[in-house]
Chains A and B, each alone.
Chain A
Amino acid sequence: MKYVDEFRDPNAVHVLSREIHRITRHPWTIMEVCGGQTHSIVRYGLDRLLPPAITLIHGPGCPVCVTPIELIDAACQLASLPEVIFCSFGDMLRVPGSHEDLLRVKAQGGDIRIIYSPLDAVGIAQSNPQSQIICFAVGFETTAPAQAMAVLQARRLHLSNFSLLVAHVLVPPAMKAILSSPENRVQGFLAAGHVCSVMGYEMYEPICLRYRVPIVVTGFEPVDILEGVQLVIAQLEEGRHKVDNQYARSVHRSGNLEARKVVDEVFESASRNWRGIGEIPESGLQLRQTFAEFDALRTFQDRIHLSSPANDLESECQSGRILQGIMQPSACSAFGTRCTPDHPLGAPMVSSEGACAAYYRYRHHEVGPGEQ
């Protein structure tokens, strides 16, 4: 497959692995920010191609995982309303709220549709004028432009039956929060390539300077990830800390200016509660006042009860520590016992980008090949 196979080439992977072994002199801990990168690493066993001195820890870049429980609860309530068609990306459906998940609401009769693009939800709004269409706007900077486009399109079409339940989050504030934590172990980052393809990487430059960490914008394929790791280690060994761009085939320093413009037109930054982590200032997006009529929480404020934020911090689920790289999934006492994909305690066990899901799916019950 063009544009993919060359970045999965086993020879290139082994050359990079050897090069990383050659240049590594000291132990280093590197965080990959994006859950998509985590899955590539665990799925292909890329961490096992690295010297033992290198520890990869998994970051907060799983939008499904960090969506606060009160918004999942709001989603479940909205999706239960008889006049509502609730549109969501597929992997939000299994995420547990306080009492139920969207799949359960669907089984009880809620009209929930899996969409592949927010513009699909606008189409559904056009063809169902008697219904209220709510699109669950989840994701990092990567998916925000498409949600913003959907709002602009709905306004252009004069649709009064379309709104967003906005749960967007932003990566740089989360990286700063991790680096500021007294428990921080991260010495270098693989930044999320898709996020940077929209936003660019200018905003990481002050983070490198302030926290003295190298940040390498990195793709998602095995060759990308190992090249990203190599670039981070090279900086660490040489005592440098700047932004490198491994994912230059998709990412420019300023990102996608058109996409950024659309996001800026529709959304503004706001404080956001991160599931298991707590509130991070200016780490989310909300609709600007000029687009308030597309805010589902405002439209349906009298129909749902919004639970108070951060009530999940008491939960047995250690997702907050996992998402900040303080704990590895397999170190959690509930992993694979009280918490499984069939009975998840938290979102990282069911999200397709969740670190716990990756460990469960690819390494659970593992008997080393040598033992076989």
Chain B
Amino acid sequence: MTPKPNIDIHCPLSLSADDTIRMAHGGGGRLMQQLIHEIFLEAFSNSYLNALQDSAVLPTLDGRLAMTTDSYVVHPLFFPGGDIGSLAIHGTVNDLAMMGAIPLYVSAGFILEEGLSVDTLKHVVSSMANSAQACGVQIVCGDTKVVDRGKGDQIFINTTGLGIISPSCHIGPHHITPGDRIIVSGDVGRHGMAVLSVREGLTFSGDLASDSAPLHELVAELIEKGVSVHCLRDLTRGGLASALNELTTTAGVSMAINESHIPVSESVRGACEILGLDPLYVANEGRCVLFLPSGDVEKALSILKSHAISEHAAEIGEVLPLVSNHTPQVILQTSYKTHRVLDLLSGEQLPRIC
């Protein structure tokens, strides 16, 4: 994908694409009204948002509510496989989907840096609107602030997501049981390496594009077809290794992972190899791990593999009971049948010297 997708934007162009965002666009006056109407309402239009009230008033929902919030500060704004707008929707939808919720409503708070081009903002908002429509969610309330030039990084987006969970659905870390099998929904490390390669101007051979994608339909199908999903976790910052470590601690179990079963694409492996990074710690935006009873593995894999975004899904390990007096840990079996700990990193991975 080209960095800036060529999207047709149907705006009455009194706010010219050549314009830049000024402090007055966040000042509460006429310019802010123009921004809201010509960019945000135009793209996100729905009856809840269009009412322009202090709160979106939503209909009664039948079921437990799932609510999540996230902030998006990705640099660059546009990268192979997505942009900050689509990422904000996919990330929010995925956080809801990981609880088995059907995503319904999203709020969007924009922090814009003075000097941002209106054209860039339109591309991001349009991409966000398209992603929301594709995911079946509505952006029902929002906020815009403008900060002085140099005090932001073009666009920051904060979202809240609201979804509904059916009464029979019980998914979460506390349902993880020793003996559960662990599945990863696809090859790992694409998003982090795609963003890094654009940000740092590194050119790698191969198709290094972000995996950013919504996972809620996948989850819904698994549940609908009777797969007994005990827990789901989307693999974002910190990658697969960090997600597994967080879950061992929350669930009070250990995990055994077979390194050679973890899918990693050739392009991600190559880029990680050159930079000295471990793909197991690299960010993803369209991947999750699933915990389920061994009897459901075959069915789950067959459903996952029928979707393009999870065609490389693989069983990678199993949940172990915690040995008394020991810290929960993730144990990795290498290709050589040796074992090592897969630990949390102290900070982010830094490219090595040689």
Given A116-B202, A372-B254, A14:B354 Cβ within 8 A: no
Q: Which of B's residues lie within 8 Å of A, judged by CB?
A: 200, 202, 254, 256, 260, 266, 269-270, 273, 275-276, 320, 323, 326-327, 329, 331, 333-341, 343, 345-347, 350-354
Contact A45 B254 (CB under 8 A): no
- Which residues 45-89 in A have Cβ within 8 Å of B in the complex? 45-46, 48-49, 63-64, 89
Chain B residues positioned under 8 Å from A89 (CB to CB): 351-353
The digit string for A335-350, where 1 denotes a CB below 8 A from any CB of B, is: 0000011100000001
Chain B residues positioned under 8 Å from A94 (CB to CB): 346-347, 350
Contact A353 B352 (CB under 8 A): yes
Q: In whole angstroms, what is the CA distance A163 to B33 when docked?
A: 51
CB of A209 within 8 Å of the partner chain: no
Q: In whole angstroms, what is the CA distance A44 to B350 when docked?
A: 21
B192 to chain A, nearest CB (A): 14
CB of A90 within 8 Å of the partner chain: yes
Chain A residues positioned under 8 Å from B334 (CB to CB): 43-45
Q: In whole angstroms, what is the CA distance A93 to B200 when docked?
A: 17
Contact B350 A352 (CB under 8 A): yes
CB of A142 within 8 Å of the partner chain: yes
Contact B346 A341 (CB under 8 A): yes
B147 to chain A, nearest CB (A): 18
Q: In whole angstroms, what is the CA distance A363 to B273 when docked?
A: 22
Residue in A42, A350, A363, A372 whose beta carbon sits within 8 Å of that of B320 in the complex? A372
Contact B269 A1 (CB under 8 A): yes
Contact A90 B350 (CB under 8 A): yes
Q: In whole angstroms, what is the CA distance A362 to B259 when docked?
A: 13
CB of A91 within 8 Å of the partner chain: yes
Contact A116 B323 (CB under 8 A): no
CB closest residue in chain B, given A142: B354
Q: In whole angstroms, what is the CA distance A277 to B304 when docked?
A: 55
Q: In whole angstroms, what is the CA distance A89 to B351 when docked?
A: 7
B273 to chain A, nearest CB (A): 6
Contact B351 A114 (CB under 8 A): yes
Chain B residues positioned under 8 Å from A116 (CB to CB): 200, 202, 275, 351
Contact A143 B354 (CB under 8 A): yes
- Which residues 110-154 in A have Cβ within 8 Å of B in the complex? 114, 116, 138-140, 142-143
Q: In whole angstroms, what is the CA distance A93 to B346 when docked?
A: 13
CB closest residue in chain A, given B274: A116
Q: In whole angstroms, what is the CA distance A46 to B339 when docked?
A: 10
Q: In whole angstroms, what is the CA distance A253 to B45 when docked?
A: 70
Residue in B270, B327, B352 whose beta carbon sits within 8 Å of that of A365 in the complex? B327
- Closest 10 pairs (CB-CB, A-B): A45-B338, A90-B350, A341-B346, A90-B351, A362-B340, A352-B352, A89-B353, A369-B339, A10-B335, A142-B354
- Apart from A1-B273, A8-B335, A372-B256, 7 more pairs, CB < 8 Å: A1-B266, A14-B336, A45-B339, A89-B351, A116-B351, A222-B336, A361-B341
Q: In whole angstroms, what is the CA distance A45 to B339 when docked?
A: 7
Q: In whole angstroms, what is the CA distance A36 to B273 when docked?
A: 12
Given A367-B323, A367-B326, A64:B339 Cβ within 8 A: no
Chain B residues positioned under 8 Å from A352 (CB to CB): 276, 350, 352-353
A198 to chain B, nearest CB (A): 10
CB of A23 within 8 Å of the partner chain: no
- Which residues 99-118 in A have Cβ within 8 Å of B in the complex? 114, 116
A–B pairs, 30, beta carbons within 8 Å: A1-B266, A4-B269, A8-B335, A10-B337, A13-B336, A14-B336, A36-B354, A43-B334, A44-B334, A44-B336, A45-B340, A46-B338, A91-B350, A93-B350, A94-B347, A114-B351, A116-B275, A138-B353, A143-B353, A143-B354, A222-B336, A340-B346, A352-B276, A353-B353, A365-B343, A367-B331, A369-B256, A372-B256, A372-B320, A372-B323
Chain A residues positioned under 8 Å from B320 (CB to CB): 372
CB of A238 within 8 Å of the partner chain: no
Q: In whole angstroms, what is the CA distance A371 to B333 when docked?
A: 14
